[in-house]
Amino acid sequence: MTVTFFQDFPIPPSGPKPPSARFVPPPWAGPPAYELPAVVHIGKFLHRGPAMVMVLRSVEVFSTGCYFNLSWVFRRGEETEEDWAEKHSLFFQPGMGFRRGTDQSWLMFGVELSDGSKASTGNRPPHGFMGTNEEPDPPTLALNNGGGSGADDELAGTGTLWLWPLPPAGDFRLVAQWTDFGMEETSIELDGGLLRTAAEGVQPFWPEEDSRNA
């Protein structure tokens, strides 16, 4: 057996591995990890214009809040190569205006609930509530970008909004604005009572454990 240089440097024995704690996001930052949500089909246009479409496809309802599943498509018009490159940058970093400190021209969402309370993503960057240990005043709304695709003539993206807690019964407004892409403030009405009823169908992964911990 050939003696090699590295045999002079024995590998030190490893000690016991410390236990690693599973990260559990606070309820205002995301849904419970071990729940199968109830899915409510919505299928409404938040915006439909010659160059851009934004749709609310569905809502995933959890026991503590709900996810709004959105998608958007932007078609190229008369933009120059330079302008289109700038659109690419804005499209794939929809919260960059917040970091620049410019006027509110980036992608923003908000809700106005039936009890008069409001929440907006416009005062926080994407994932703004993740890792926040101090409980904010409800309601809260957090935008999570789902990614997208780009081509020479089209840009397509998806995202989710986490609303905490569940909205009260009654009609409420979901509001959107993205003036970087020519979308002025627009809104649709949704039924808070429908979402609260759907929450009754949420299924825990291990109900026997939940009953023991109740």
CATH numbers and ranges of domains, the chain? 33-213 (2.60.40)
Give per-residue pLDDT as tens, 38-68: 999 999 999 999 999 999 999 999 999 999 9
In contact, 27 and 164? CB cutoff 8 Å: yes
pLDDT at 214 over 50: no
**CA 97 from centroid of its chain's CA atoms:** 17
pLDDT of residue 66: 97
What is the mean pLDDT of the segment spanning 112-116? Answer: 97
- Helical H segments across 49-128, by residue range: 81-92, 96-100
**Polymer length in residues for the chain:** 214
pTM score of the predicted model: 0.81
For residues 185 and 131, the model is more confident at: 185
Q: Round to whole Å and give the CA distance between 140 and 65.
A: 10
Give per-residue pLDDT as tens, 145-157: 777 787 788 899 9
Q: Round to whole Å and give the CA distance between 42 and 22.
A: 34
Q: Round to whole Å and give the CA distance between 115 and 112.
A: 8
